[in-house]
Structure 1
């Protein structure tokens, strides 16, 4: 929120108290505690009044330094709090007449002990960011009675800010006002389903504000050369995270807040939904699945949306007997076709649901301060919320899901979780303001834990809409309610790239748009984008998304890009493993891979899928597309043509094409199967090489097998750590194949151009 009226004045009713100087520093157990009066101390009389801010410098792990700002320490501890990992760092503390310094890894925070208040964060002798006089402060608003803690961190010339969750506006946050407050606002507004109080810069650092409630960010907006953040609290902690690269920042941020689980291989295939308000029964479902089979369209997951349950009964977790009289038999029949099954759920319990009476009697529903159950009529008549702060309520909810798993359900679409009230009392005494965003973490963790327990590690996956810090541990997340327009397709991509820059490894969206019915041309363009995303789902609101309802060419486009994705699974699943182990998302904003290229700073209509594939979706019927190519000679994967950057390129593509470029120097593992995602990826894999320079050595991991490719002069030599399975080495049209038991291959490439 904004506190000032221009440069000199405060807004009417606002008062501010800023640290003026350091009074003293106390060192204890790897922590620096700094006492900073908010007026210069000229005499002992100035020691009689406050406010005085206490600033504590500490570190949870190397290259991460936190500052905790405190006004009154007597406030009752407020829960919940983010669950953070500490790595037992060994900070270096020092202070002299000039500075008090805490160093963790390569990152130091220095607080000036003499002169005006000044805090500086440095790495390798370079200032990353700083907070000067009138930056940090205690802000009061007489109109609301609000008490806020605020910080302003300097924003260097040319520094771009990213992240803060899944946001659908411009990818670069500079100039924006962002409130971290989950809302069900669609993809066409400034509201967001997934709010994360973490931002990443291309200047070597990121900042995480460790506050689960509402945090207001002014990103180069109220003060145009600073990032400001504030929260209504007596204590506020933030962490500066040193990279130096954006990937390094994400790796350290996700080490602190949690990394994504690795989704099961089958989840990377195509998901087909009933859609939302459409009419369907088993006959409808079977006709869709048979239609996909007859048209040779590989399908991995079938999803039942809301109306698998009876109207006004959401959620009672019972199949509507009028349209699904034999759910166990139906699910067995579907699974016999090789499908996995997903069903829609949410944390809301409608008054008509039998679970409302049960949950009220057991005390599992969220209550108002007077003890009555909190209810309203939006979304479902008389609905209540499950109180996930109660372990008993979590177990109760989990038991309902376990019954569905026993029937044959494999995973859940965990919808909603954003409309969480603050005029309530939580069973564990949590602060309502802090629980608003945090609720989604408890909700999705409860569901994910059920799946992990009953399906096993590596088999749990959800399709979640709402999220906050830490929710990245429970993939997958999808982008919410978008419209069937090119503009909404573009805003969805911006949201996904922003979420990836906020620590989330896996992301999806409704192919074709949710609201409205796409034109055949839009549907086909969105199919290409959707199948080149980490996860791919056909879903809509009031109309089906099976391709033959649009036109026959849509069938061809879906088949083409589905098979393309399945053949790329050896490459994609390795990118998924990296997201799981290192926190680097599968879908990467260009700045994440090319932070030193200024041409990539603002790119938001293209992305890297893994480290080596550049994807530029087409946002027009005619197929015109403009995209940027970084340095080097890149190869169009679908045509073999090459393009050399850095430069902008304009092209026109038919519906079976789009810019899909392979990075120079890449070795791309391509699978032998195009009918399903969960095949042995190393069995029959082809290692396709692209522009390897002489002397280059590239290591590629495919499942449990590691391949090493070396170019020696005009010869490519490759070896496999496990030669049991057959594999191949390719450069352009030249292919060498290894039989089972052969762990080495050579391939002559006398002309560099033949590697394109």
Structure 2
């Protein structure tokens, strides 16, 4: 919301009052904080203290590296819930706090971050900076904190009746030259939010609008700090869009609280944010496999489902989870949890047959938190008070989405118990996971929640948290703490605790695929580890080329699901069953099997991501390379974990341009290397894309031809070394998520402590061709040696005007041919221990 008409005038119908100076300061001993009394005019004499507003600003130290700032006009105003569930794992102790005073200022410090408040000269000036003085982060300066009325009262007597007045609190933090702003939930517009006006209000707007399903009041700055706005209420932000040099945050009410979180890196910011709002839950290994959906409005029954899965198996496309979308329920009955008896006369038996066939391991069904009045269940739920009501006592209903639809009131404990009971009946039928759709269009006017103490406007966004929490915890109760999986569309702060989320309704276009990338990386910067997308696009009929490009992108998201609206997403329906190597079926098989092979890497990275509260995929480039200013503007590529760079292809031709940060990068498919920083152009068929491995990486991969998602991630694996140096590490975890061991490169360039690897494991060293000068190639060409050693022969450390080269040759049988010119041929050390001589040419 804009409160000004340019720099000089108030907006029409608005009255503004600003904190003009810090009149007095008081220490808050219990919270180790500081309270500032800030009048809305400069106090030059005693008479100036009369007939004016004051703003109270509390700066507190919740834990090291974080400060909270709460601005209040009238302290006596109620602060009704709901409130975000902060510190769910407990509040950490605050060890490094202090308040110091100088003749002109006071400084409050919380670990690595401090705020310095000017206390002289009738100025309003608060600077947030690194405690060590190395960097100023942002500041609150003249006309940066205030209150506003709308419509503008002509005298203070009118504020005696506030029923027809809107009252706002706003703050404006400064934007430095070149500073960029990111996050604020799953947003599909420009990745850098500077210049945008954003309203944090959950809405079902698709992926091609400024609305968002997942509004999260957290943004991260390229200057090394983040700001979390501590309210589920509607928040409006003007990010360099009212004043070009400031981020304005406003909320209707008497108070506004936010936390400033010092990094300096995005990884450190999100870790501290996860202490505030909770860490992402861990998901089971099977959830990373391919999910196949019936699609939305398509007709299907048991025969249809089986035909899909049999067709996928025949085409070497393993499916881990089959999803029954809306029409497992009877039309007009959504969502009463009752299978449509005409289409599914015995759902439990059907699901049992489906799993026993071996075509799929898990089953998911679609639900929402609404109830259509046509269902007989509606009358029961309404009579028992399970549905949201209007202020006059009527059940709140509208005909949006479902005829006479009511909304489950999750503030009523009995409604929650009933809803969980319905979920348990699904689990009894063999359902393993739940797609929690909707939860965005929650009314905020003329409604009365069962818990009447709650603010209906705050409940609009917070409903997403309650809805997903209830379903997730029901899954945990049935299947185990780390075995619960949602497929959720709506979210707010804290909902990362209930994974996973998907991007909502996108069109079947390359533009929508790019929108989805932006949405995924933005949500990741708000602490969500897992994210998925409707492969092929939800709306419309994807042409084969878009489907195949989307398959490549979708299988490199943390989770991968084929889903559409009014058309199926099995590949043979997209391209008339093209059986060629570049047909949809073969391409889907290729990428599904690649993800299966990557599972030892993916699942280990998933554990780390959840522990740190950071994204697995899609991970914004700036997350891994915050010192590279270009990385803060990259919105068409991302990192999958810390070691893999992914650049989706958006052109039918296969042309793609992408950026590599500083260092050596190895093409996963060809083993060619490129050196960054720099922009590169490539052309790809449908079975590859720019997938680059970061230097100093150890990748643990499943064996060639691996088709399973869940297997022993320490057995029969290939350990790939990419331009490694001493200290390079890779953690190996089991399919249950427990650490098995750590591979680490030692002083000699070798991987030590391999005893926990089993079966026919191997180590592959991938030398980089651009490290080798003609001199080195010549030396290798003329070198030959035969040795009886049985384990390893370390050849040559050649030094010159070129990079140091270390080439290792390992025995996998009776002989090894080592030729650095054939750099793309893997050279391996096998777990086989044979007393066979090396023959090296």
**Which range, TM-score by smaller chain?**
over 0.9
Structure 2 counterpart of 1:513, from 527, 537, 550: 537
Cα shift at 1:318: 0.8
Q: What does 1:107-506 correspond to in 2, within 5 Å?
A: 107-115=113-121, 116-123=123-130, 124-125=132-133, 126-142=135-151, 145-336=165-356, 337=358, 338-423=360-445, 424-429=447-452, 430-506=454-530
Contact 2:334 2:402 in 1 (8 A): yes
Deviations 1:637-660 (A, max 9, x none): 011121111111111100111100
Contact 1:260 1:472 in 2 (8 A): yes
Cα shift at 1:721: 6.0
Cα shift at 1:712: 4.5
Contact 1:705 1:721 in 2 (8 A): no
Aligned residue for 1:183, secondary structure, equals coil
Structure-2-length-normalised TM-score:
0.87
Aligned length: 745
Alpha-carbon distance change, 96 to 55 in structure 1, aligned in 2, over 3 angstroms: same
Structure 2 counterpart of 1:676, from 704, 708, 711: 708
Contact 2:723 2:766 in 1 (8 A): no
Structure 2 counterpart of 1:688, from 717, 720, 741: 720
d(CA) in 2 for partners of 1:745, 1:17? 78
d(CA) in 1 for partners of 2:259, 2:364? 38
Structure 2 residue 647 is the aligned partner of structure 1 residue 616: yes
Cα shift at 1:749: 6.5
Structure 2 residue 690 is the aligned partner of structure 1 residue 659: yes
d(CA) in 2 for partners of 1:725, 1:158? 53
Alpha-carbon distance change, 376 to 24 in structure 1, aligned in 2, over 3 angstroms: same
Partner of 2:752: 718
Partner of 1:526: 550
d(CA) in 1 for partners of 2:757, 2:391? 67
Q: What does 1:550-589 correspond to in 2, within 5 Å?
A: 550-551=574-575, 552=578, 553-587=583-617, 588-589=619-620
Structure 1 counterpart of 2:71, from 59, 69, 72: 69
Cα shift at 1:720: 2.8
Partner of 1:4: 4
Partner of 1:89: 94
Q: Please identify, of 649-658 and 678-687, the stretch whose mean Cα deviation from structure 2 is larger.
A: 678-687
Aligned residue for 2:591, secondary structure, equals helix
Partner of 1:590: 621
Alpha-carbon distance change, 49 to 94 in structure 1, aligned in 2, over 3 angstroms: farther
Contact 2:294 2:568 in 1 (8 A): yes
Q: Please identify, of 376-385 and 73-82, the stretch whose mean Cα deviation from structure 2 is larger.
A: 73-82
Deviations 1:158-183 (A, max 9, x none): 11110000000111111111000000
Partner of 1:628: 659
Cα shift at 1:387: 0.5
d(CA) in 2 for partners of 1:745, 1:503? 45
Aligned residue for 1:526, secondary structure, equals helix
Partner of 1:740: none
Structure-1-length-normalised TM-score:
0.96
Cα shift at 1:389: 1.3
Alpha-carbon distance change, 447 to 746 in structure 1, aligned in 2, over 3 angstroms: farther
Cα shift at 1:133: 1.1
Q: Please identify, of 299-308 and 83-92, the stretch whose mean Cα deviation from structure 2 is larger.
A: 83-92
Partner of 1:60: 62
Aligned residue for 1:542, secondary structure, equals coil
Q: Please identify, of 74-83 and 274-283, the stretch whose mean Cα deviation from structure 2 is larger.
A: 74-83
Partner of 1:739: none
Higher-Rg member (1/2): 2
CA-based RMSD of the aligned residues comes to 1.7
d(CA) in 2 for partners of 1:46, 1:544? 71
d(CA) in 1 for partners of 2:113, 2:755? 39
Aligned residue for 2:750, secondary structure, equals strand
Alpha-carbon distance change, 344 to 717 in structure 1, aligned in 2, over 3 angstroms: closer
Cα shift at 1:711: 5.4
Deviations 1:605-642 (A, max 9, x none): 11110001010000011100000111122111011121
Which consecutive unaligned segments of at least 5 residues does structure 1 have? 735-743
Partner of 1:709: 744
Contact 2:699 2:730 in 1 (8 A): no
